[in-house]
Amino acid sequence: MAESKRKGKAKKFNLEWIVKYGLEVSTRDPSTSEVTTPWFASSVDPSAVKMPNESGKDYECQVCAERDNRNNSGDHLPHVLPLELCGVLLRDFVSCLEDQRIRLGHKFSEAEVENIDEQFRKLRLAFKEHSGFSQMLLDAQASRAVQSFEKCWSQLGSEFEQLSMFCGALQALCQVQAVLSLISP
């Protein structure tokens, strides 16, 4: 399997266009090299689109999409539905948490991040040990052709609320990345 490589050229976009379509990007003040990135932003490299700040200097930002040799998105889409998560290995989920820890820190406290990990463990354990729980998840996802994130997670109630919020953030990140991959060559 070929490694993902940054192949496409980064396109320059007008900041008003990016804001109009709801994309949040990193910004960098060239004089201080201070970078401000939304907690969920990914594959954003500040450098091309100029935006004036209060002092009259320009901030810069750039949108890039990573592609592999088959022109597929270089980003692995994470599992965000409960039934999908039950098939994820613990080490893979912990790796995902570690990869997102800085971004998570902007939205979730350290205790909440630990709670997300604990809720993931409980979800997998309940799926493996309680046939009624696993059947409920299987029925919920099998009954619909197109899965709704909210409907799949609503079956679980509030016991897995933090895990649901984390997966919702990952889903939002994937949607932003999908839009970015459509507008970049």
pLDDT in tens, 3-31: 334 444 333 444 444 444 444 444 455 56
Give residues with Cβ within 8 angstroms of 93, minimum separation 6.
85, 117, 120
Q: Which of 88, 77, 81, 80 is nearest to 155 (CA)?
A: 81
Provide the token pair at 94.
Answer: 């912990």
Distance CA(60)–CA(35), nearest Å, equals 10
Distance CA(90)–CA(117), nearest Å, equals 9
Answer yes or no: is pLDDT of 121 > 80.
Answer: yes
Mean pLDDT taken over the chain: 64
Distance CA(17)–CA(111), nearest Å, equals 37
pTM of the predicted model as reported, rounded to 2 decimal places = 0.52
Domain ranges of the chain: 15-73, 82-175
Distance CA(104)–CA(44), nearest Å, equals 17
Burial of residue 100 (CB within 10 Å: 0-12, 13-18, 19+) is buried
Distance CA(178)–CA(159), nearest Å, equals 30
pLDDT in tens, 38-91: 444 444 444 433 444 445 444 444 444 444 455 555 445 567 778 888 888 888
Give SS3 for 116: helix
Type and span of the H or E element at 153: helix 149-154
